[in-house]
Amino acid sequence: MSKQRLTPREIPTLKRLAKTIKRDQKISHSEALNQIAFQYGYSAWSQLHSEAIDTQRVEQLLREFADGKREQCHLNFVLRLWEHQASLPEVRPVVSKMLSQLTADDELTITALLAEHSNGDSPEDLFAAIEMARSEKDAGFDKAELLASEIFEQEIDKVTDDQESVAELDELLAPLPISTQNMILSYRFGEIRDAHASTLAEDVELYKRNRDNVNKALLLVAELYAFGAFSDSQALNQWLKSPCLNDTSSRCPLDALWNNGVLVFVKQYAEKAHEMFQRCMIQDWRSNPDKVPSEVRHLLDDKDIALRNFSTIERAIFADAIPEMASKLEDAMKPIK
């Protein structure tokens, strides 16, 4: 079978496909990647990837590292490799080469990064590793060897994925008050919340492992807050940490971040609150019919009919208000004479 040329942009799609194959066929990730490679005419994933990967960005990262232009992603990468070298002996030469290039300023930054991790390693251990790497340094920084390292590729992917996950979480939290955001980020996962339990703020892996629940829960909480289900942020925060009324285990709405049963409770609560909000709006429209366009005003004659057609009435009111808003905006933008 002839090889099918691939562009670097296609690699992420193939990696996602490999995850699906791994889950469906219950095989390892590397076996799934190789299956895909065979389909495109390659003997292994490493061959496919080496011919398709855009080496320019990776080479630039390495060149910047070697030239002393350190970014946090470089240093985070060094730290990740160093933390895993005990369980991954093949990365030790790579780690040694990268540690030997660190400057004093790099050491301060990477020590701060280390403090954010919860693996128990101390800065002293890191400094000892750096000194050992420098003492064993013999042939300088070998970019080609690093570039050919599958571990390097995996770690770059991991750092990128972490950054994208943090950005996604930030976007989900943005509509909520700062105090609520802090409460969610400091929430400790798991049924047993001991002193060693991690939080969303401490470990992005928690978010990735519970992404489906977290996303749904945060969207529901944001929706509740947006249509005024709570008088203020304090009321919202109090509700989030109060036990669910129909849950004998004393779980609170915040537990929806990881628990499907509590997620259902929050969804039901949101639906009831949303219906209450709609009924309040309908009552206001019935009391002030002039707010409602004449062509949909008849839908307010019956409250249940109005509830079923809430979206239709709301769209009509919004569409009717647009010309008036445009006129006001145009007047506001006229030069003062």
Q: Give the closest residue to 197 by CA, choosing from 205, 186, 188, 185.
A: 188
- Between 105 and 145, the higher pLDDT residue: 105
- Between 230 and 86, the higher pLDDT residue: 230
> Where among 96, 127, 161 does a domain terminate?
161
CB-based burial label for 139 (10 Å; 0-12, 13-18, 19+): exposed
Q: Label residue 192 by pLDDT band (50, 70, 90).
A: very low
Which of 145-159, 209-223, 281-295 comes out lowest in average pLDDT?
A: 145-159
Q: Quote the pLDDT of residue 284.
A: 84
**203, part of any domain:** yes
CB-based burial label for 104 (10 Å; 0-12, 13-18, 19+): exposed
Give the type of residue at 256: A
Per DSSP, 89 falls in state: G
Q: Quote the pLDDT of residue 310.
A: 80
Q: Quote the pLDDT of residue 334.
A: 52
Torsion (CA) 161, 194, 181, 233 in degrees, nearest 10: 160
Same domain for 185 and 157?
Answer: no
Distance of CA 39 to the CA centre of its chain: 32
pLDDT beyond 50 at 202: yes
Write the CA distances from 67 to 59, 71, 72, integer angstroms: 12, 12, 15
For residues 180 and 196, give the distance between their C-alpha atoms in angstroms, rounded to a whole number: 22
**42, part of any domain:** yes
Q: What pLDDT, in 10s, does the model give residues 71-115?
A: 776 777 777 777 666 655 656 676 777 777 777 777 777 777 766
The number of distinct structural domains making up the chain is: 4
The answer to whether the beta carbons of residues 266 and 217 sit under 8 Å apart is yes
pLDDT beyond 60 at 215: yes
**What average pLDDT does range 134-157 have in this prediction?**
63
Same domain for 81 and 155?
Answer: yes
Give φ, ψ of 188 to 5 degrees: -100, 125
Identify which of 55-59, 179-183, 320-324 has the greatest average pLDDT.
179-183
For residues 309 and 301, give the distance between their C-alpha atoms in angstroms, rounded to a whole number: 12
Q: Quote the pLDDT of residue 187.
A: 85
pLDDT beyond 50 at 197: yes
Q: Mind giving me the DSSP string for 169-191?
A: HHHHHTTS-HHHHHHHHTPBPSS
Q: Quote the pLDDT of residue 151.
A: 63
Q: What pLDDT, in 10s, does the model give residues 248-273?
A: 567 889 888 888 888 888 888 888 88
Residue span of the structural domain in which 46 resides: 8-52
**What average pLDDT does range 62-73 have in this prediction?**
67
> Where among 216, 237, 256 does a domain terminate?
256
- Between 275 and 55, the higher pLDDT residue: 275
**How does the average pLDDT of the chain come out, rounded?**
75
pLDDT beyond 60 at 183: yes
Identify which of 61-75, 177-191, 252-266, 273-287 has the greatest average pLDDT.
252-266
Question: Within the chain, where are the H helices?
Answer: 11-25, 29-39, 45-52, 55-66, 72-84, 92-99, 104-116, 123-136, 143-147, 150-173, 178-185, 204-209, 211-226, 233-241, 260-287, 303-308, 310-333
**272, part of any domain:** no
- Between 205 and 62, the higher pLDDT residue: 205
**24, part of any domain:** yes
Q: Quote the pLDDT of residue 280.
A: 80
Q: Label residue 55 by pLDDT band (50, 70, 90).
A: very low
Same domain for 103 and 152?
Answer: yes
Q: Quote the pLDDT of residue 282.
A: 85
**279, part of any domain:** no
Q: Quote the pLDDT of residue 238.
A: 92
Same domain for 154 and 103?
Answer: yes
pLDDT beyond 80 at 243: yes
**139, part of any domain:** yes
For residues 180 and 178, give the distance between their C-alpha atoms in angstroms, rounded to a whole number: 5
**245, part of any domain:** yes
Beta bridge partners of 170: none
Q: Quote the pLDDT of residue 53.
A: 53
Same domain for 44 and 115?
Answer: no
pLDDT beyond 80 at 312: yes
